[in-house]
Structure 1
């Protein structure tokens, strides 16, 4: 799923939303918005302020009004789960991965050590790196 498909699928929730990250986290957001779409009452209002990558993980800044506090708690739990799942998911390809350099100033959110590996260990990782290289116009250090 792409981010554009996500916006179409959840048009009522994502009227004015934009995404500041790559398509790899779209499935995580799909699961998150499915919870909101299911639990939000017809008179409830959901507003996305920002969805972005920060410090190598997904951040969702949103608010809910016109709903019971229990619903707000369910949405908060779903948000925390989505953000936690992003730590182990490549932002570019959506496959399992690990965050490189989590303690440095520069966070490698494309997961150069992406766990999408064939037995030879390099083909899928190379594809993810090539995507990153094309988008950023940068050279990457060897893994």
Structure 2
């Protein structure tokens, strides 16, 4: 795993007073800052008491742990996590989740070709499964519409039926 500029908890507490006050951990590449910023700027007006507890990368995607009962804020979080799977964590340009080959222990990461190592570029990209882009909130399914950049009500994905 190579080193690259990362967001830290202090940065987020300074940029978003109140939102990260109870956060334990923030550690993702600066390329995902616009995605996180969009989430907060969308969710906070809907839920002024929005709290984020943790932000990290898992399986090559952004994970935001927050506690909000507001559906619109929860959909903003889902959208951010989905969008991160095709944005380079280092620079924010279009990228791919890079999955190590079978039997190889390494972190899944979302990088563009420029920031992926030669080895990572040889891994290929993660194929999106049948649940990709979907989120269920309070029994209703939503799907990320990339062209409109919004979460839209949807029928359940075929795999969940």
**RMSD of Structure 2 on Structure 1 (CA):** 2.6
Q: Which has the higher strand share?
A: 2
Where 2:19 maps in the other structure, the secondary structure is coil
8 A contact 1:87–1:98 mirrored in 2: yes
- The alpha-carbon deviation at position 5 of structure 1 amounts to 5.3
- 2:21 counterpart residue number: 15
Q: Which has the higher helix share?
A: 1
TM-score by length of 1: 0.64
- 2:79 counterpart residue number: 81
Where 2:109 maps in the other structure, the secondary structure is coil
Closer, same or farther: CA 22–60 of 1 in aligned 2, 3 Å: same
- Aligned partners of 2:75, 2:107: CA distance in 1, in Å? 25
- Greater RCO between the two (CA within 8 Å, min separation 6)? 1
- Aligned partners of 2:83, 2:44: CA distance in 1, in Å? 20
- The alpha-carbon deviation at position 110 of structure 1 amounts to 4.4
**Aligned residue pairs, count:** 111
Task: Report Cα offsets for 1:34-85 as digits up to 9, x if no partner.
Answer: 01222224xxx32222111000000111102xxxx5xx11011101100000
- 2:145 counterpart residue number: none
- 1:56 counterpart residue number: 60
Gaps of 5+ in 1: 116-124, 131-139
- Aligned partners of 1:74, 1:25: CA distance in 2, in Å? 21
- 2:106 counterpart residue number: 106
Is the aligned partner of 1:26 residue 2:33? yes
8 A contact 1:56–1:102 mirrored in 2: no
